[in-house]
Amino acid sequence: MGLRSTKESIQLNICGKSYNVKASKSEEHLLKKAAERLNQIVDEKRQSLSGVDMKDLLVITAFDFVVEALKEQDELQNIANRVNDINKQLDEILP
């Protein structure tokens, strides 16, 4: 019998609405931090894009997150490629 993280219900407030989410104790801090960051970003966008409704703000925010995630993924792949190149060079140099 392995150790399992029990999931508890936590309440997150996102854009003025409460959501109950099941999460392990180890995930709770991360989820709360993510909700806080999302609220902060949406508030910033609301101030800079006056007149835009909440649905559109959330779509814009989600799109921005996806673009950032893809940039990070590309950067990680570039780093992995560089590490592989260095390993190949080391294999050629070292006996």
Q: What is the pLDDT of residue 6?
A: 87
Q: What is the pLDDT of residue 11?
A: 97
Q: What is the pLDDT of residue 5?
A: 64
**How many whole angstroms separate alpha carbon 66 and alpha carbon 62?**
6
Q: What is the pLDDT of residue 44?
A: 95
Question: pLDDT tens-digit profile of 71-92?
Answer: 999 999 999 999 999 999 999 9
| Phi/psi of residue 17, nearest 5 degrees | -120, 140
**In which residue ranges of the chain is pLDDT below 70?**
1-5
Q: What is the pLDDT of residue 3?
A: 57
